Amino acid sequence: MKKPINQNVWKFFQKHNNAILYSSFMEDHYLKLGYKKSQALQEIIRIKQEQMRLDNGKIKVFPLALKYISTEQVINIHDEKSNNFSIFSQNEEFIFVNKKQDNISLNIEPNWLQDYEYFDEDEGKSKYGTSDLSFPISKIPCNGCGGMLQCAEPSFPGYIPSEIYKTCKEKELKKITCQRCHFLKNYNIALNVNILPEKYLQFISSIAHKPGLGVLIVDLLDFPTSIWSDVHKVIGDQRPLFIVGNKVDLIPKDCRNYLNNIRANLREEVIKKGIREENIKHIALVSATTGYGIEELITNLHHKWGTQGDVYLIGATNVGKSSLFNALLGSDYCKVQACDLIQRATASPWPGTTLRLLKFPILRPSDYRIFLRTRRIISEQYEKGQEAKLRRLQANKTGKVEFATLIGHIGHSFQSERKVTLDHFSMGKPNIEPQVLNEESKVYRNSKWCYDTPGIVLNDQIHHNLTLEEIILTKPTEMLRPRILFFKIGLSIFLAVYSSLRLPILICDTTKANAIYSDLLQTDALQVPQNTTVRPQPWVSLEYGFDFSIVGDFIGLTVADIVFSSIGWVGVNAEKNDTVAFRVWSPEGKGTYLRKPALLSQGFRLHNKRIRDSLAYRIGKAFIKH
């Protein structure tokens, strides 16, 4: 049974009934009751009331982008909507529900400070801790974001309440994270800090003249718009580079050789951005989330770079640098002694999580270690091959996305060399030393390091206008499934087609597009932006971006993609020798790009059945069976 629709939203759809030709939001909420209208109505009311009862008992907080708290303020962000569940109203074959959210205050545990091992309860004066200007900033970086730990100013990076900071010795500070990282990891809360976007670029530019390998990470859901135009100037014209396309597990499989097509497309777009082809030493497609391609990347890092110098993970915000850093940290690429001594970087959908350099020591790939690693990988090949074959059969039989998703296993070839001191008369746990990494020790003194760098803040990335909750809505969590549409002259579409399925699609008459957008803005019909007064920047209007026309090359092939940075893209199909023309609009006219050739040239093969009397097909398949 489909979801009932908000009555206020329905009024806007009625107002523009003749101009709206298709809405996935309406498609999801459309419900025919027929002669069982009263019985179905009672059943929906019962289900809705039961769902509300369950929701009230397990509310999970995804608050909006909070402003950083000061020493006298208490976090007290409320949803302005009231909890008023109204009775359904009816109109012919539709039913509607006016559901308003509960008045929920930010549900942070009142004793969250006690999560820190070194919290001094006797010093506690505030529910959220207090600052103290009398204590200087430390020289110890936060393990999660790299900001220097301090208790002086909550709006600066690395802040820890004084109740914790003042009780910690130097060794203890090396084991904890700042308040911002703590909230991101434990409460999905983004606390803003006072760092100008220009500072990110200045900081990353400081490595331009430092020798080392650059690992340029590109978001495959957002390229080439996630590569800044003067990247070669920032990282150095002569620097050897590995190009890593991340999030490949989310790309649909439109043909057997789709990975080769993506790799070729990635190479071409990177070169267009000014990267010299002779500087590219390797191109890898990985998923830092599922582990796919990580082992192959490590093998190439060992063979093609070794320990000639340090390694810098470079890229724009939200491309997955910290996730890749964490994957490498827990692999054969990190010195065995350091794997458990360095905390994982804070990985979050919120852009700009990493504020300064994070690092771990690289394992020196001696001949013997390469032999041990190669032997392990060969021994695992049969088992992994059989698993891949089974998953392929399951995918073809069931059509489920989870079986077609690219996954990988990150193994370990070497035993830990850390000394364990056992007291045979003790019932406690063994004492493991050392507890923190000492860079001056003999083990690490001559090491080469792998650095996680702050993400470059690109003005064209649309997600900088979004709240954390909106970013979560726009980020796909599983392999994309295309929504395929017929288009005619004089029509407009909101939003992207290759995008998160949580973002609705709407097709309307272009002459009424402005009025429709104005009425449906900040409603469930568009999802993003949401109706909130708390956001990083004021929401901006849609503005003209660019015009383009293109001629179809081959029947059934996607000619080009219209990319909306950090949101998704629209693949354009045209019959051979037919000319199609589009005018592209986006927030402030930013973040749009015409990508040719298309990333998925055979994406139309993923179509599903046509919706009767509609311009749209049902949500497409995620992969071609083989």
* Eight-state DSSP code of residue 463: G
Note the pLDDT tens digit of each residue in 488-514: 788 777 655 688 888 888 888 888 888
**Residue 485, strand partner residues:** 616
Does the pLDDT value for residue 287 go beyond 90?
yes
Using a pLDDT cut of 70, give the percent of the chain over it. Answer: 72
Alpha-carbon gap, residue 69 to 154, rounded angstroms: 7
The 10 Å Cβ neighbour count of residue 10 is 20
Tell me, what's the pLDDT at 189? 64
Tally of residues, the chain: 626
3-state secondary structure 378-417: HHHHHHHHHHHHHHHHHHHHHCCHHHHCCCCCCCCCCCCC
Note the pLDDT tens digit of each residue in 104-130: 234 455 566 655 655 655 554 555 678
* Eight-state DSSP code of residue 552: B
pLDDT category at 429 given cuts 50, 70, 90 is very low
The 10 Å Cβ neighbour count of residue 308 is 12
Of 34-38, 93-97, 481-485, the range with the highest mean pLDDT is 481-485
Burial 415-453 (b: 16+ CB within 10 A, else e): eeeeeeeeeeeeeeeeeeeeeebeeeeebbeebbbbbbb
Of 287-291, 470-474, 475-479, 549-553, the range with the highest mean pLDDT is 287-291
Note the pLDDT tens digit of each residue in 366-414: 888 899 999 999 999 999 999 999 999 999 999 899 999 999 999 888 8
Note the pLDDT tens digit of each residue in 187-221: 666 665 555 556 666 666 777 778 899 999 999 99
Q: Kindly report the backbone phi and psi dihedral angles of residue 563, in degrees, each rounded to the nearest multiple of 5, phi listed first.
A: -95, 135
77 or 148: which leads in pLDDT: 148
Tell me, what's the pLDDT at 452? 87
The 10 Å Cβ neighbour count of residue 173 is 20
Tell me, what's the pLDDT at 293? 95
Does the pLDDT value for residue 53 go beyond 50?
yes
Q: Where do the domains of the chain lie?
A: 128-190, 197-415+435-452, 464-618
Note the pLDDT tens digit of each residue in 325-367: 989 988 999 988 887 777 776 666 566 566 667 888 999 888 8
Residue 51 CA, distance from chain mean position? 29
Tell me, what's the pLDDT at 422? 43
Alpha-carbon gap, residue 551 to 116, rounded angstroms: 61
Asked whether the bond before 597 is cis by omega within 30 degrees of 0, the reply is yes
Does the pLDDT value for residue 309 go beyond 80?
yes
DSSP run (H or E) holding 587: strand 579-587
Does the pLDDT value for residue 138 go beyond 70?
yes
Domain 197-415+435-452: CATH superfamily, name plus number = P-loop containing nucleotide triphosphate hydrolases (3.40.50.300)
Tell me, what's the pLDDT at 201? 66
Least confident of 267-271, 305-309, 497-501: 497-501
Does the pTM exceed 0.85? no
* Longest distance between any two alpha carbons in the chain, whole Å: 84
